[in-house]
Structure 1
C-alpha cells in the first residue's frame, strides 16, 4: 500500500518542552519512520493569536501544498486559522486537538467565548480530528458538535526508563509541568505548606512558560517558607529529569485541566504512585489502583492525599507496584504514529 504524503503544520519551535510539542515532535518522527513523505510546515509562533503576517504566511504555505498531500494542523492552528481559508483548503485537513482552547485556565469570559466559537466553526471544516484521550473526544462531541466518527483517539506513546529506580530518603515528591496556572503548582505549594511536620523533599520541574505566574510561584515559595524543602527547578533536560523520576517516591500534579498529560504516563513507567486531580482526562489516564485523585483547587485535599502516602509506606508501595505494572503495558510512539497514519491514508 502506498503511504499518503502529508504535511504537519506546527506554530513556533517544535522543540519547546511542553506536552503538546513533545507529542507532535514524536508523531512527526514516527510518521517519517514509516517511510512516509511528511513535510514539516514551520508556522509563526504567534498562534493562537496570530499576527496578520503569521496568518498570511500560514495560509500561503497551506495553499502551496501539492493536492495529493493531507495536512495535520496543530490545535492552535486548526482552532484559530481564518475560517474562510480553512473552508477553501484544497487538501484534507486533520486537526490535532490536545484540548480545546476555550478550556484553558483563567480566561476572561469574552476571550473564552471567542475561542470557543471560532474553534467550533473551524472544526466543521476539518476532515478528521486526532485527540489524545477519550475525555477530549467526548468533550468535542458534547460541546463542539463533532461527530464521533470524525474523531480518532491516538494515545501518546511512552519511552520506558533505562535505569532502575533509586528512591531517596526522605521521600521525594516530584511534580513535572510548565509554570502555567493550569498546572496548579500554586495549589501543590499550598498543600506542601500544610504537611511540613512530615519528612519529605520536593522538586517542581517545568519551564517558566507564563512569566507572571512563575513570579507568583516564587513569591508563594517565599511566603510559605519552603526553601530548602522545595526546589522550583524550571526547565530540566531529559537526562536530569529521568534522574528525578528515578529518585522520586511520589508523583504529584495539582492540575486544573488536562487533555491528556504525558507526565502521568512517565510517572507510571517509573512505577510512581500518583496524586492529582479529578479533572479533564486525568481519570482516564491515571488508573485508580495507581493513584489518588482529589478535587481541583483544593490544597487541603491534596495535602491529605500526600500525607496519607507519606505516612503509609505499605499503601505507597502497593500503588507503586500497580503503577509499574500499568507503565510496562503502555504503548510506544510507533503505535501512536500507526494510528495517525491510518487516518491519513483513509481520509
Structure 2
C-alpha cells in the first residue's frame, strides 16, 4: 500500500522558484511511489485574511501526514501545533524566509519572525533547500535537525552564448523585478562598465511592483544604456530557451536567497554565475564569483574582472561545462524528503 501524504501549498499567480520546487517535488515523490495529495491553499500568504486562516485550520483534518510549505505554515503556527497535538505528523518545507522579505513592512516581518519560530518548533520535521537555510533555522529558531534537500535540476542543452558567435557577451538577469531580487544594483553596476562591450537582458515578471519596474526602466534610460539593456518581462518555453542559448554569464543580485534554482539551471547549460555572498546562492553556484548584496561598486569590480580577462571567462566556462554533468536530479531531492518524512515514507521504492 502506498504511503499517503497531504501537501498543503500556495501557488503564486506568477512564476516562482518556490512553486517550481513544490511542483517538481510532488512529481518526483509520486515517481518514488508515494501517494501525494496536493491541497492548494489560496490567499494572500504569508499575510492571510481571516477566512483564509479558517480554511487552513479545517484543511489539516483531511490527512494523517502532511507536508506544508512554510509560506503558509510560518503564518499559522497554531494550526500546526493543533495538528501535531491531535496525532497528525507534519513536515514543514522551508524554501523562503518571509521575515526577510523587504516587500513586507517591518511590523509584519517582526510578527512573522515570531510565528515562524513557533511553527518550526511545532513541526515534527523540518526540510530546507540548502545548508545555508539549515544554518539559519538553527541560528534563528534553535532547531539543529533540519534536513537539507537541495533542488534538483533537469538536464539542458549547452548554451552557445553570444561571445562565441562573435557578438558582445550577454549578461542575463533572470527573476521577478522585486526589491528582494534587486535589479537596481545590477543596473548601477552596469552603468560603471560602459567602456566594455556587452549586452544585458532582464527576464522575469515586471508586474509585481509597478513602481520598481518603472524605476528600473528610468535608471536604464538615465544611464544611457537603453541601446544594450533590455527588460523583456516574463518568458517561458521556446522564448526562454532562446534567451538561455545566448547567455554568457548569469547575474544574480538577490538581497537574500535560500538557494537560487536559476543558478543551477544556468550551470546545467554551462553558464557560470555571479551571486550574492553570504546567502544560499553561493551553495548553488558551482563556478563564478560573489559580491556583497546591494554593493554596486563591488559587483562592478567583479564584472570588470570578467569582462577584461578572456582567460578568466574561458576558465569559468570550462569549469561550468564540467559541473553541468554532476548536478543533482529531482529524484535525488525526493529521496531525501521521503526519507525525512516521520511516517516512514523512506521505505517506499
TM-score of the pair, normalised by structure 1 = 0.92
What is the CA deviation profile of residues 214-251 of structure 1, one whole-angstrom value per residue up to 9, with x for unaligned ones?
22212222222221211111111033222222211111
Quick one: structure 1 residues 341 and 218, their matched pair in 2 at CA, closer, same or farther if it must change by over 3 Å? Answer: same
Q: 1:84 aligns with which of 73, 78, 87?
A: 78
Q: How does 1:98-247 map to 2 (within 5 A)?
A: 98-105=95-102, 107-146=104-143, 148-149=144-145, 151-162=146-157, 164-168=159-163, 169-208=167-206, 209-247=208-246
Which residue of structure 1 lines up, in the alignment, with residue 281 of structure 2?
282
Correspondence for 1:32? 30
Say which SS state the counterpart of residue 74 (structure 2) adopts: helix
* 1:55-94 correspondence to structure 2 within 5 Å: 55-65=53-63, 67=64, 70-81=65-76, 83-89=77-83, 90=86, 91-94=88-91
State how far apart, in whole Å, the 2-side matches of 1:23 and 1:244 are.
22
1:326 aligns with 2:342: no
Give the SS at the match of 1:328. coil
Structure 1 stretches (4+) deviating beyond 6 angstroms? none
- Name the stretch that deviates more: 46-55 or 84-93: 84-93
Q: Which runs of 5+ in 2 are unaligned?
A: none
Asked whether the 8 Å contact 2:162–2:246 carries over to 1, the reply is yes
- The structure-2 alpha-carbon separation of the partners of 1:88 and 1:245, relative to structure 1 and needing over 3 Å to count, comes to same
Does the 8 A contact of 1:161 with 1:242 survive in 2?
no
How far apart are residue 308 of structure 1 and its match? 1.5
- TM-score (normalised: structure 2): 0.91
Secondary structure at the counterpart of residue 143 of structure 1: helix
Distance change >3 Å, CA 275–CA 214, structure 1 → 2: same
| Residue deviations 1:121-156 (CA, integer Å, cap 9, x gap) | 11111011111100000010011121x23x111110
Contact 1:44 1:54 in 2 (8 A): yes
- Alignment: residue pair count: 337
| Distance of 1:12 and 1:264 partners within structure 2 | 22
SS in 1 for 2:324: helix
RMSD over equivalenced CA pairs, Å: 1.7
Unaligned segments of structure 1, at least 5 residues: none
